[in-house]
Structure 1
Amino acid sequence: MPECANCGGFVTESYVRVFAPGERETVRVCPNCEDKLRDGADVREARSKRT
């Protein structure tokens, strides 16, 4: 079962297929992460709290 590398939360295989870089089996950050977010091909610290 795939999980987020940042928070350990569950992500679907479809989400991994779309958002994981290259041939990785997991994503670096998911929509549930409050401290980081995707910024194009990179991951950055969130500037404000996400809800």
Structure 2
Amino acid sequence: MPECRNCESFVTERYVRVFAPQGMSTVRVCPSCEDMVRDGSGVREARSKRV
């Protein structure tokens, strides 16, 4: 089963197909990573809090 690389939460295969960078089999952040965002090839904290 696919997992988020950041928090190791379960993500669906469909979510991976939509949000994973080309050539990757998992995502860097997921909906469980509330204050994190993708930034280039890495992950960083969001500059503003999400509501």
TM-score (norm 2): 0.75
Contact kept in structure 2, 1:2 and 1:25, CA below 8 Å: yes
**Which sections of structure 1, spanning at least 5 residues, go unmatched?**
none
**Which sections of structure 2, spanning at least 5 residues, go unmatched?**
none
Contact kept in structure 2, 1:31 and 1:37, CA below 8 Å: no
RMSD, aligned CA: 1.8
- 1:3-22 mapped onto 2 (5 Å cutoff): 3-22=3-22
Aligned length: 49
* Equivalent residue, structure 1, for 2:26: 26
Identity level (%):
73
| Structure 2: distance between partners of 1:3 and 1:45 | 19
TM-score (norm 1): 0.75
